[in-house]
Amino acid sequence: MSRKPQLQVVTANALISGHSVWLTASGGWSPRMGDARVFDDPQQAQAALAHATARSDIVVGAYLAPVRAGVAGPEPVHFREAFRRDGPSPAANAHPRS
Amino acid sequence: MYRYDEFDHAFLAERNRQFRAQVARRLDGSLSEDEFRPLRLMNGLYLQLHAYMLRVAIPYGTLNPAQLRKLAEIAERWDRGYGHFTTRQNIQFNWPRLIDVPDMLDALAEVGLHAIQTSGNTVRNVTADHFAGAAADEIDDPRPWAELIRQWSTDHPEFQFLPRKFKIAITGSPHDRAVTRAHDIGLRMLRRKDGAEGFEVIVGGGLGRTPMLGPVIRDFLPASDLLPYLEAILATYNLLGRRDNKYKARIKITVHENGLDTFRELVEARFAEIAPDFDRQTTAAELARIRAMFASPLLESKSEYAFHEAHQRDPVFRAWADTNLHPHRAKGHAIVTVSLKAHGETPGDATSEQMRLIADLAERYGHGEIRVSHEQNLILPHVARGDLPALHAALKAAGLATANAGLLSDIIACPGMDYCALATARSIPVAQEIATHFDRLRLEHDIGPLKIKISGCINACGHHHVGHIGILGLDRAGVENYQITLGGDGSEDASLGSRTGPGFAHDEIVPAIERILRAYLELRENRDETFLAAYRRLGAAPFKAALYEGNRADAA
């Protein structure tokens, strides 16, 4: 039985702003999920997570989130991650980013 | 209201200085997140889904105009121009940056506010009846006692690391607007026939994953015994409460597992031990000092002509006056609920502009007093009836005159998954959709008094267990699902709602609520029979039948 590889990204909150960020292929952090590096190898994902966790001067609470491949980069599997990507519902956030 | 003395100011300045240094050490890498986290939580700073959140304590929900203006300024300067008032009578800022928080705390300290003990396993902000000091049905103003408890519990060395967080609510009125039976300790002021003042003490109530209405541990506690008795309860809980399982650590579980009688015996034994050494003289002197600061404003009677004229002429004013006013103890006055529940808006949010306007109006018409209600509205407790038309006009221009206090769209909703890291589903959009839907149907005033309360997870910050209609948002296999409870009540006749059955998807929840309410309109004996009264008369069956009518397959 062949199993599809579990696709994952490393995500966290930025230390200073608290905003959701994603680990990119260049090892930086982006506020856009679409920029995230997608891991299909669980060991590599764990290694990247360990590295991210060690950089606690930049981000807080790093973890692996499952994603699926989309046209414009990785897309969330769970709706919680969709909220982290998109921010509060438009109606709930009547006071947009200034 | 309470005014800080030099000791209060010095204490706060020192705490803020410490936190500023802690933030600096976090940023330069000397503190890890594991080391920093408990320090920031002690200062009310959480990390949520999209950003930090700063929770500021508003002691027993009482604010003066300078404080409200400062909150507006903080929202504008360091956040996104709004604040969110909560069921704990606090305010939360949803978007602060870590590096700005020390400045925000210093700004708060300028007006005697802080974020200490708004998180962590400590005694949290003491909440009180939001109509305290004004309600016609009140025995006495509970706020001097609440302030005494605040002073006793703030930085209390024995109670900084309790098994779990600890919430105390107090009311001075037989009509319980403070949900005392759903708190770790609930206090109801009593005055016996012989004139003796005291409290009925309730212990071990709470909502969350194991909802319980607190039982009475003492029918009548003489008022002068309050602090030693609270200390005895806290000390007993501190030793007996479970630390092995976070979900069994609240005092409600301690009382439940050990039995009320055993718990009471231990409390009474501890009380007997500490009460003789308790410094009653100093406490009485401090209470007298506090009481003087809560003296009622001078409420002069004014002509009510303008009120009657507007009430007759203007249907918009009439609708507002009929729902958003509450009887005041002083003739010619009213308690005004300023609704933060405009249809389609986020329950409890106020912009900086709105906060400034309310501060101005409190000064002009309300003796400079503002309250935050646990129902996420603001209250002007002392307004002369003759000033109500002018007040209404000013509120209306700022979107603050929605005539819905106590009605269907006066919904408590937790932040839910739009903000909260613990949430399992959204709450705010559900509240918004219910409010706009029934506003379109023009059914809200016909339905009458109704409390809908929505929580976005099992922790029940939205008090859904005590909503006449409660809604609980869960994650069912990666999809939002909403369970409905009926018949809950947070008043003096408190009851916990019962679950109706299978839950509903996000797009099914508004029609589901409509089916329940259409059944109520059919079933009620007359317009005076409220939803809750009809539910209590008829039981759940007819409402469940309407809810799941022809929908069994979809709802399963």
Q: What is the pLDDT of residue A93?
A: 64
The chain B residue lying nearest A87, using CA atoms, is B50
Q: For residue range B480-494, what is the model confidence (pLDDT) as tens digits?
A: 999 999 999 999 999
* Cβ partners under 8 Å of residue B459, min gap 6: B208, B209, B422
For B302-347, write each residue's pLDDT tens digit: 899 999 999 999 999 999 999 999 999 999 999 999 999 999 999 9
pLDDT at A91: 67
CA nearest to B486, candidates B495, B474, B499 = B499
pLDDT greater than 70 at residue B479? yes
Nearest residue of A to residue B54, measured between CA atoms: A18
Tokens linked to B142: 């509970």
Query: Does residue B556 or residue B273 have the better pLDDT?
Result: B273
Residue of A nearest to B100 (CA): A16
Token readout for B335 is: 């308690």
pLDDT tens digits, residue range B48-99?
A: 999 999 999 999 999 999 999 999 999 999 999 999 999 999 999 999 999 9
Taking any CB pair shorter than 8 Å as contact, residues of chain A touching chain B are: 13, 15-20, 56-57, 60-61, 77-80, 83-84, 87-89, 91-98
In this complex, the residue of A56, A78, A91 whose CB is nearest that of residue B344 is A91
Alpha-carbon gap: B25 to the closest alpha carbon of chain A (Å) = 11
- State mean pLDDT over B358-387: 98
What is the reported pLDDT for B301? 85
Over the stretch B160-174, which tens digit does the pLDDT of each residue have? 999 999 999 999 999
Rounded-to-integer distance, Cα B267 and Cα B33, Å: 38
Q: Report CB contact under 8 Å: B428, A89.
A: yes
Q: What is the pLDDT of residue B34?
A: 94
Q: What letter does residue B212 receive in the DSSP assignment? A: B
Tell me the ipTM for this assembly.
0.92
Mean pLDDT across the stretch B99-110? 98
pLDDT-derived band of residue B555, with 50, 70 and 90 as boundaries?
Answer: very low
Does the structure show a pLDDT above 70 at B361?
yes
Confidence tier at A94 by pLDDT (50, 70, 90): low
Residue B1 — very low, low, confident or very high, per pLDDT cuts 50/70/90?
A: confident
What are chain B's domains? 6-110 (3.90.480.20), 142-293 (3.30.413.10), 312-397 (3.90.480.20), 412-555 (3.30.413.10)
| For residues A5-22, average pLDDT | 96
Minimal CA separation from A91 to chain B, in Å: 7
pLDDT of residue B553: 45
**Rounded distance, CA B26 to CA B181, Å?**
40
Q: How far is A58 from chain B (nearest CA, A)?
A: 9
- CB contact (8 A) between residue A89 and residue B52: no
**Percentage of chain B lying above the pLDDT 70 cut:** 99
* pLDDT over 80 (residue B189): yes
Nearest to A66 by CA among A7, A4, A1: A7
**Average pLDDT taken over every residue of chain B:** 96
Taking an 8 Å cut-off on Cβ atoms, the answer to whether A16 and B479 are in contact is no
- Per-residue pLDDT of B447-473, as tens digits, reads 999 999 999 999 999 999 999 999 999
A contacts of B50 (beta carbons < 8 Å)? 18-20, 83-84, 87-88
pLDDT, residue A11, reads: 98
Mean pLDDT of B521-532: 98
Cβ-based contacts of A94 with chain B (< 8 Å) = 82, 345-346, 349
Q: Contact at 8 Å (CB) between B519 and B543?
A: yes
Residue A80 to chain B, least CA–CA distance (Å): 7
Mean pLDDT of B530-534: 98
The DSSP secondary structure of chain A, one letter per residue, reads: ---PPPPEEEEEEETTT--EEEEBTTS-EES-GGGBPPB-SHHHHHHHHHHHHH-TTTEEEEEEEEEEEETTEEEESSHHHHHHHH-S-TTT--S---
Supply the pLDDT for residue B151: 95
pLDDT of res. B550: 63
Q: pLDDT tens-digit profile of B274-286?
A: 999 999 999 999 9
Average pLDDT, integer, range B133-154: 96
CB-defined contacts A:B, below 8 A: 85
Map out the domains of chain A as residue ranges.
8-86
Q: Report the percent of chain B where pLDDT is more than 90.
A: 98
Q: How far apart are CA B510 and CA B443, in angstroms?
A: 14
Residue B278: predicted pLDDT: 94
